[in-house]
Amino acid sequence: MNVSAFDLNHARALHFLLEEAHVARAARRLGITPAAASNALRRLRQDFDDELLVRVGRTLARTALGEQLRGPAREVLAAAERLLGVSASFEPGTYEGEFVLTTSDRVAEALLPALDDLLTRRAPRASLSVRTVTTDVSTFLRDEGGLAIVADTARERGLSTETLFLEDFVCALREGHPLLKGAWTARRFAAAEHILVAPRAQSRRGSVDDLLEAQGLTRRITRVVTSFALATPLLVSSDRITVLPRSFAQARARELGIVLRAPPFEMPSIQMELMWHPGHERDPKHLWFRGLLRDAVRAAGLTPPRVP
């Protein structure tokens, strides 16, 4: 096919149809009706002399050519956005598109109320999509054009980053817990029953165990869960204790009747990083959204990064 005969306006439709492999979902991302998306698919099939998407049972699957076109279509769309973004300004008050953020549930719980309020006031027509952190952040950011908030320990090479806030930790225990009376020591802390949060449930040991070991102490872990949200119900009904990120714990403490205390030993903070694909470094929309997230961090009372 001669490139001069191809309507470049179809590149966007090609990208979303191939990425979603679903006409209705592609239509939503394109901002058109499913009928219009079906018509776009029909034209693209004619342009490429290939079905591109074929029905397999109740779903659509990409043909061999459709699979080969995914990468080039994505690159064409990204290049067009960079080209237009060189001179285009971003007007949040009239923007009707989508902002995409991926992070953990615990960060979202602490940050979302402030972020939602700021976005509603500053970009009232925009939509927001918040997704759980994917195992391949780099590919997600390249394909979706969004932002990610992850711990610095999960940083991936090849991404642009900045420290968004610092996260420290607190010990959480129920109201009336026996440990609330008497001296709050590392020895008494270690002697209690503990809940360990292990995201992939692949270990029965965490950073707290390393810190206790340095003091000649060990703790007894009687429950292992894969998220901080799963740990909190186990606190209120028992004498178990756990260590939680402060931002998450503060959001839950009043609601559940949980008491928070600083760990009885020094526990370093972790850096929470804002990440994006380098291809969006100077994109006006990206620049604006990054600034909004910084403002949301301050509004949420999270600890900003220390200035050297």
Q: What is the mean pLDDT of residues 125-151?
A: 84
Per DSSP, which regions of 57-207 are E strands? 59-62, 98-103, 127-132, 147-151, 160-167, 169-174, 193-197
pLDDT of 123 reads: 95
Distance CA 261, CA 168 (A): 12
Distance CA 81, CA 233 (A): 46
The kind and range of the H/E element at 55 are strand 53-56
- Residue 171 predicted with pLDDT over 90: yes
User: What domains lie within the chain, and their CATH numbers?
Assistant: 3-85 (1.10.10.10), 98-167+270-299 (3.40.190.10), 169-261 (3.40.190.10)
pLDDT of 159 reads: 86
| Per-residue model confidence as pLDDT tens digits over 105-137 | 888 888 999 999 999 999 999 999 998 877 678
Bridge-partner residues for 160, per DSSP? Answer: 276
Bridge-partner residues for 103, per DSSP? Answer: 132, 149
Q: Which residues of 205-220 are buried (b: 16+ CB within 10 A; e: fewer)?
A: ebebbebbeeeebebe
| Per-residue model confidence as pLDDT tens digits over 205-262 | 888 999 999 999 999 999 999 888 889 899 988 999 999 988 888 878 877 889 999 9
Average pLDDT, the chain: 86
| Span of 32-46, 98-112, 145-159 with lowest mean pLDDT | 145-159
pTM for this model (two decimals): 0.65
